[in-house]
Amino acid sequence: MPRVLESYVGGGWVTPADAGQPLLDAATAEEVARFSTQPADVPAALAHARDAGGPALRALTFHERAGLLKQVALTLMEGKQEFYGLSTRTGATMRDSAVDIDGGIGTVLSYASKARRELPNDTVILDGPPEPLGRGGTFVGQHVYTSRHGVAVQINAFNFPVWGMLEKLAPAFIAGLPSVVKPAAQTAYLTELVFRRMIETGLLPEGSVQLVTASPDGLLDHLGPQDMVAFTGSARTAALLREHPSVLRGGVHLNTEADSLNCSVLGPDAGPGSPEFDLYVKQLVTEMTVKAGQKCTAIRRAIVPHSLVGDVVEAVRERLAGTVVGHPGDPDVRMGPLASLEQREAVRRAVGRLRGSAELVVGDLERFELRGADPERGAFLPPMLLRCDDTAAEAPHDVEAFGPVSTVLAYDGSDEAVGLAARGRGSLVGSVVSHDLDFARAVVLGLAPWHGRILVLDRDDAKESTGHGSPLPVLVHGGPGRAGGGEELGGMRAVMHHMQRSAVQGSPDMLTAVGNRWVKGAARRDDGVHPFRKSLAELRIGDTVVGGPRVVTRADIDHFAEFTGDTFYAHTDEGAAAANPLFGGIVAHGYLVVSLAAGLFVDPAPGPVLANFGVDSLRFLTPVKVDDALSVTLVAKQITPRTSADYGEVRWAAVVTNGDDDPVATYDVLTLVAKTAL
Amino acid sequence: MPRVLESYVGGGWVTPADAGQPLLDAATAEEVARFSTQPADVPAALAHARDAGGPALRALTFHERAGLLKQVALTLMEGKQEFYGLSTRTGATMRDSAVDIDGGIGTVLSYASKARRELPNDTVILDGPPEPLGRGGTFVGQHVYTSRHGVAVQINAFNFPVWGMLEKLAPAFIAGLPSVVKPAAQTAYLTELVFRRMIETGLLPEGSVQLVTASPDGLLDHLGPQDMVAFTGSARTAALLREHPSVLRGGVHLNTEADSLNCSVLGPDAGPGSPEFDLYVKQLVTEMTVKAGQKCTAIRRAIVPHSLVGDVVEAVRERLAGTVVGHPGDPDVRMGPLASLEQREAVRRAVGRLRGSAELVVGDLERFELRGADPERGAFLPPMLLRCDDTAAEAPHDVEAFGPVSTVLAYDGSDEAVGLAARGRGSLVGSVVSHDLDFARAVVLGLAPWHGRILVLDRDDAKESTGHGSPLPVLVHGGPGRAGGGEELGGMRAVMHHMQRSAVQGSPDMLTAVGNRWVKGAARRDDGVHPFRKSLAELRIGDTVVGGPRVVTRADIDHFAEFTGDTFYAHTDEGAAAANPLFGGIVAHGYLVVSLAAGLFVDPAPGPVLANFGVDSLRFLTPVKVDDALSVTLVAKQITPRTSADYGEVRWAAVVTNGDDDPVATYDVLTLVAKTAL
């Protein structure tokens, strides 16, 4: 008898006491594993996450957390063949498994890489620049993100047992929030296997990730204002979660991503024979057949110009004729079964409802060819295209057949296309296939308030396009209204979404201490050693060098103009410069000012400073006139050691002033500095 | 008989049909006005907002919307004496009225100013940089914010009838979302007056703001996924709103800001005689007495070191002895009545519950002095301080007395202070009063996950500090958990909070068309006219100039080092430069590269380009070696006309390449350009 799936709770694997319910192979109905019907020990999982996982994660910097995730992901990638084998039993073809397994692991790698590039090597994220709150500069605001002291409970859908887990776990982990993963029963055996391999790496801090393969009863009961619930699934279940007392009154942060009736709009320019027509049909068929259409992002509504409806239907019919449906282990099979017989039954019912206002024009629920599989035991369906000519019909905008099903709707003009799309009441994704810039722009801006993601597909980007149905870790995933109102991915936005944003008000010294970034007005330190002589280990935030004064002569300006070729009239022509409304006379080049400033602050001998790799936010505030005496102050502002190099980045705040002490230019200088003295 | 307050709905003032309920003067119980008890015509208001207000607002750019708000605010400021007169009847002293009236108008001005500085002069906001999605550069992502096609319903509390309306209305207006304002009945006569003066300016597009002074019944029933509800009030009402079907299943965006049990922590360093001790006591008394303590942000819990509890109680007692309570129109009066007799009764009940676990140490519910007012008719209370020595007590962390009431709690060590603060289950604001950087930092980071705003008050910022209880338009206002989970203010974050964020994927040309910002890889235009010769009216996004090549000689580098004084070894010392792990030989100064590039792209003669005012995101990507030939490409990236000047800002994308066409440096050049040819 197949074993009952185990939970990983409180630091070890826990075997359920009950016999569980059987989980069947989607294609053969053989039993694969069993799933406990009794509630898991949620209080134990939460306590372990709070007492062990949270503190352990919060003790690491963002870069350290990202580094661990990267190693875990590389280990999973090495052993992925094992996952593919088990994935077949969920009904997934090789292509489907790649989306789930490689897609999931790739998502972790993307987060890990972006975190190290875009977040500080610290435990606090600064949000935006300091906000001056008083004229004197002694009272300043700074928004910071800190880790919540809670738990992220992640309730996943059955369709992507690997990706679904990893896309939620990665940003929570980087945010410092321990995860409790609750997979959907139907495909939990694959989630359990991948989770087991993650734990076996020994890399993840104890309590930082736990797995609950058991009844979800009571999962939300013990959550509070520091906790999050991220849910992917039906709009109906999402509404039930919103009604839970922990959410209504307990302050739990709830994020939901629900199925939506995503649309794809074909442009009127894209008739048969155009590259866009072929792209449209190919994409529609792909979205109908990948994962047998069991994707929250699949195209449910094909919005097509009136005059092109017939052409689209015929082209889809033709393309689908070559789509082999059958056992997912067969390499020739393009579309496998649905995840379960229950899912097949639900899709059949939904198609029945759609047929109340639409005609089934491609595919036959009762008769279709099947390769190497038993239509009675496996959850097979054919791809089905419906056509609805009744513009008042509600069903195509409301009934989601979560399978290989799409409905063609006709429109005239971009306004009607946008209006039809909006009748879905909010979607995860919409696409526009058109090479007409004006049409596409109008539709994109019309769809935007209703969509989390919008793809414009055309001949220019088709080769690199990842397609309508693929959420990407760097882009928002989630959508308004019916799509759940969630926002789960989106690069570092997803990390910050797991953290608390607070405004901190205080003196510059206080804000420097809180954020580890020097704030204008905070103490500057000059211990007699030039800061360019200090390694990362020696350098402190606030270390300062002051250089100057150097007088800028008319000869300097003339010479710089001649030498660089920058003979702009404000630097060279007295009369014209005097007429300039902002200058009223000859001014020094901005590039001359910063070049001279570098000459005033640099320490020339070899040392720990390796290179100046950039400048940020340079602003010229006061024109530099002939005979102005320039001084410069350079303060170590932020120090970011790189995990994988023997140097790190130092951001310096530079201010150039004139003889009246007016700021002439402010900017950040970026250098690479060795970690230890060379 | 006083008139029934009117609603402004559907383009005109509507007089309710019923006699309404009386609204009484807080100090004298005289009737000031009446408030309709019948539901307003909400469907008419929503239809007008959707059909007229929304389209009118969305037709304006952010700068134009901000400009209108600024004019309206300046008009209100001119006529503010009228508002002060009526404000007294709500129980507000002059000081209280300033917070509400000047604070509210100032908030509008702050939003208007920030929008013009930080948002594009456009209708779409770009969120973050383009995200490359393919190696070939033909497929790119860009997050955009667009205006929702809905309505912002704003349900305000009684305590700030002016500020409460304006702080919600301003960001919604700038976001392009029409507002329907629902004030709390008790003080709605002041809201109605200010609203009337706003409408009379004639500046606000018809339907962009409406007022509902009537029963809130049915207010949410007709809302959907494009609509928002922003609520300020009790946690209990917030939970009721969360239960509304429009929110649970209809996709309405709900933002709530609820009362919270805000804390103020005194540092162990801040004993009697220190500046911080005095600041702490003064701030606590201020927060107890401003608006008679009827502020969502008031200090309810004074968290004080064990050893200082007695000192704090005595100092508060002493300071409160000089606080005159009485008729708010009397200039000597420091604290007026509560807003209504019902509020007074609610506070009395809450104090009763607090006394179950705390001792009333300052103030007497039954006996207190009153200046120029009748204690029977007016809703007067004395300031009251309680002391709770029972660390297990729940009431001080749970019972909010929404009046001049605070409870002193004792702690030992920063961990216990943070733990006590967290027992409030989420607050709008917390403060720390200490001059000990380490203690304050530990408490700030401990409080942060539980707070929307944290003030550190000390001798350094006291002079400019705006205080514990003052939300600021540039900082987050709202807090997690019990505080409602909302996030209403916070500068341009509040504007974006009213918009929909979507990821758009497409070719560089498509993204350029959608976002009005040139994306790398999009078409470049060279019509033979140097773009520096074009005014804002003539310049187009994508206009390009290419300059170069110019060979950088060793003599150039030597000369630049000598001329600027930047003799860093990598530019001057062959041997040392060869040993540099990143360069392996002499390299040109980064500043030399950008100086020469300017010489290659500049058009020197007087023309529409007035000045280079800055450089952003300069990165040196490839070292420039001796005899490298540099070329530069400059593309008009973003054009931002200024509303109040005859010029605007042009952002140019610059790329410097070497002879191998490798990018050597990339950056944005910022110039001011005249709107029309000079």
Q: What is the mean pLDDT of each run of 10 residues along chain B (678 residues)?
A: 94 95 97 94 96 98 98 98 97 97 98 97 96 97 98 97 98 98 97 98 98 91 96 89 93 92 98 98 98 97 98 98 96 96 97 98 93 95 97 96 98 97 97 98 98 98 97 95 87 96 98 97 96 97 97 98 97 96 95 98 96 98 98 98 93 98 98 89
- Which of the four pLDDT bands, split at 50, 70 and 90, describes residue A677? confident
- Residue A270 pLDDT greater than 80, yes or no: yes
Q: How far is CA A20 from CA A217, A454, A620, in A?
A: 15, 42, 70
Select from B135, B454, B595 the Cβ nearest to the Cβ of A502.
B454
CA B366 from centre of chain: 41
Q: Which of B397, B504, B563, B676 to mutate to test the interface with A (most CBs of A within 10 A)?
A: B504
Question: Once rounded to an integer, what is the mean pLDDT over residues A460-476?
Answer: 97
Select from A454, A466, A514 the Cβ nearest to the Cβ of B502.
A454
Establish if A501 touches chain B: CB-CB under 8 angstroms. yes
Establish if A546 touches chain B: CB-CB under 8 angstroms. no
Q: How many residue pairs from chains A and B have C-beta atoms closer than 8 A? A: 396
Q: Kindly report the nearest CA distance between residue B489 and chain A, in angstroms.
A: 11
Residue B296 is a catalytic residue: yes
CA A9 from centre of chain: 28
Amino acid at B612: N
CA–CA separation, A233 vs A216, rounded Å? 14
pLDDT tens readout for residues A164-181: 999 999 999 999 999 999
Give the per-residue pLDDT at B1. 75
Token readout for B398 is 């749970």
Q: Which of A456, A541, A676 to mutate to test the interface with B (most CBs of B within 10 A)?
A: A456
* A434 contact residues in B (CB cutoff 8 A): none
Residues with Cβ within 8 Å of B580's Cβ and at least 6 positions away in sequence, in order, are: A606, A610, A611, B569, B570
Interface of B with A in 291-320 (CB under 8 A): none
Q: Which of B564, B572, B616 to mutate to test the interface with A (most CBs of A within 10 A)?
A: B564
Under an 8 A CB cutoff, do A610 and B582 touch?
Answer: yes
pLDDT tens readout for residues A214-229: 988 889 999 999 999 9
Please return the burial class of A619, using the count of CB atoms within 10 Å of its CB with bins 0-12, 13-18 and 19+.
middle
Under an 8 A CB cutoff, do B567 and A604 touch?
Answer: yes
- Residue A487 pLDDT greater than 90, yes or no: no
* B224 contact residues in A (CB cutoff 8 A): 425, 481
* B496 contact residues in A (CB cutoff 8 A): none
* B148 contact residues in A (CB cutoff 8 A): 449
* A560 contact residues in B (CB cutoff 8 A): 563, 595
Under an 8 A CB cutoff, do A602 and B136 touch?
Answer: no
Establish if A575 touches chain B: CB-CB under 8 angstroms. no
Give the per-residue pLDDT at A678. 60
Q: Which residue of A has its CA nearest to B478?
A: A502
Interface of A with B in 66-125 (CB under 8 A): 124
Q: Are B188 and B90 in contact (CB under 8 A)?
A: no
Q: Which of A398, A488, A566 to mutate to test the interface with B (most CBs of B within 10 A)?
A: A566
* A445 contact residues in B (CB cutoff 8 A): 124, 146, 514
* A502 contact residues in B (CB cutoff 8 A): 447-449, 451-454, 476
Under an 8 A CB cutoff, do B139 and A249 touch?
Answer: no
Under an 8 A CB cutoff, do B598 and A589 touch?
Answer: yes
Token readout for A309 is 């409806």
Select from A450, A461, A619 the Cβ nearest to the Cβ of B506.
A461
Under an 8 A CB cutoff, do B242 and A239 touch?
Answer: no
Residues with Cβ within 8 Å of B133's Cβ and at least 6 positions away in sequence, in order, are: A464, A466, A472, A474, B139, B140, B141, B505
Q: Pairing state of beta strands A21-24 and A31-35?
A: antiparallel
Give the per-residue pLDDT at A488. 79
Under an 8 A CB cutoff, do A500 and B568 touch?
Answer: no
Q: Are A188 and A216 in contact (CB under 8 A)?
A: no
Under an 8 A CB cutoff, do B606 and A235 touch?
Answer: no
Q: Which of A236, A418, A509, A591 to mutate to test the interface with B (most CBs of B within 10 A)?
A: A591
Q: Which residues pair with A180 in a beta bridge?
A: A153, A210
Under an 8 A CB cutoff, do A445 and B573 touch?
Answer: no
Interface of B with A in 600-629 (CB under 8 A): 600, 602-606, 610-620
Q: Which residue in B6, B167, B192, B257 is the catalytic one?
A: B257
Select from A131, A242, A583 the Cβ nearest to the Cβ of B475.
A131
Interface of B with A in 176-205 (CB under 8 A): none
Interface of B with A in 422-461 (CB under 8 A): 422, 425-426, 437-438, 440-441, 444-445, 447-458, 460-461
Q: Cβ–Cβ contacts within 10 Å for residue B475, how many?
A: 25
Q: Are B373 and B57 in contact (CB under 8 A)?
A: no
Give the per-residue pLDDT at A486. 84
Question: Once rounded to an integer, what is the mean pLDDT over residues A204-209?
Answer: 98
Q: Kindly report the nearest CA distance between residue A390 and chain B, in angstroms.
A: 24
CA–CA separation, A96 vs A113, rounded Å? 25
Q: Which residue of B has its CA nearest to A424?
A: B225
Q: Kindly report the nearest CA distance between residue B485 and chain A, in angstroms.
A: 7
pLDDT tens readout for residues A557-609: 999 999 999 999 999 999 999 999 999 999 999 999 999 999 999 999 999 99
Q: Which residue of B has its CA nearest to A135?
A: B464
Q: Are A191 and A183 in contact (CB under 8 A)?
A: yes
- Residue A236 pLDDT greater than 90, yes or no: no
Under an 8 A CB cutoff, do A619 and B617 touch?
Answer: no
Under an 8 A CB cutoff, do B613 and A596 touch?
Answer: no
* B147 contact residues in A (CB cutoff 8 A): 449
Establish if B652 touches chain A: CB-CB under 8 angstroms. no
Amino acid at B618: L
Q: Kindly report the nearest CA distance between residue B4 and chain A, in angstroms.
A: 35
Q: Are B611 and A580 in contact (CB under 8 A)?
A: yes
Establish if B331 touches chain A: CB-CB under 8 angstroms. no
Q: Which residues of A are catalytic?
A: 257, 296
Q: How far is CA A3 from CA A21, A34, A36, A189, A215, in A?
A: 10, 6, 10, 10, 16
C-alpha closest to that of B664 among B589, B558, B579: B589
Question: Once rounded to an integer, what is the mean pLDDT over residues A325-346?
Answer: 96
The DSSP secondary-structure symbol of B122 reads S
pTM of the model: 0.96
Establish if A593 touches chain B: CB-CB under 8 angstroms. no
DSSP 3-state assignment of A66? helix
